[in-house]
Amino acid sequence: MRILLIGYGKMGQTIERLAVAKGHEIVGALTVHDADKLASYTADQVDVAIEFTSPDAAVGNILTCFEKKIPVVVGTTGWLEHLGQVKGKCQELQGTLFYASNFSVGVNLFFHFNEYIANKMRQYPEYAVEVKEIHHVHKLDKPSGTALTIADGILKNYPEKQGWINDTSSEPDLLGIVSEREGEVVGTHIVKYTSENDTFELHHVAHTREGFASGALLAAEWLPGRQGIYGMTDLLQL
């Protein structure tokens, strides 16, 4: 399979290493300095693009891929306020997009169990719920995209909550998301339920970036030949 890497930071380089080891061809690796070259690629040259850049660049890259009929897997977070625009363009141009806040198989199982637990825990209002995420100091968005997906899974089961704040919350109608940036932490996410009597947590710790990279590569292998917008629930059939 011919893969175009859009973004060549630590994640892009890890994906390249894993892809080459599996026999795939990397037809290009675009850095922030040569992102304008994306428009020079066509579907005749590229089977799928994998995009890990920055929130301010992601939407433009996605739309260019739609215009060029190149299926694109997007791991950049922090751009979802533009999702409506992207969905509209995807339908208009018959594009193909696979996006996820996190490509780790373990994290997506975490999402699944998080919703199940939230549905059960709402029956016990004596337990207060909070989300915490810890990432490396280079991460640009806060809260993390993964934390926002976790929050969405909780909020859909707590209709009395009106939203979230990026801090601890003492308000019953707001879910607190605590964000910490520390060293080179790959990614830790915690959902904590606390009562006067006890506390229990749903906890995920990423040890390396390879789990994210291998999941993105799995999505890239799955995507060609499809049209529309997909995510990890489609890939993993959750």
Q: Is 213 annotated as a binding residue?
A: no
What is the Cα 190 distance to its own chain's centre?
Answer: 16
Place of tokens 């390249």: 16
Tally the C-alpha atoms within 13 A of residue 95's C-alpha that lie toward its C-beta. Answer: 25
Q: Nearest 5°: CA angle at 200, between 195 and 203?
A: 140
Instruction: Determine whether 22 is an active site residue.
Output: no
Catalytic pick among 10, 69, 112, 139: 139
Residue 139 is among the residues annotated as catalytic for this protein = yes
145 is in an annotated binding site: yes
Q: Is 233 annotated as a binding residue?
A: no
169 is in an annotated binding site: no
136 is in an annotated binding site: yes
88-95: long-range contacts (C-beta < 8 A, 24 or more apart)? 89/63, 90/66, 90/228, 90/229, 93/66, 93/67, 93/69, 94/69, 94/227, 95/62, 95/65, 95/66, 95/69, 95/71, 95/227
- 153 known ligand binder: no
Residue 104 marked as a ligand binder: no
To the question of whether residue 102 is assigned a binding role by annotation, the answer is: yes
Question: Among the options 24, 68, 132, 135, which is catalytic?
Answer: 135
Question: Which residue ranges make up the annotated binding site for NAD(+)?
Answer: 75-77, 100-103
Q: Residues marked as binding?
A: 75-77, 100-103, 136, 145-146
Binding-site residues for (S)-2,3,4,5-tetrahydrodipicolinate sit at: 136, 145-146
Active site residues: 135, 139
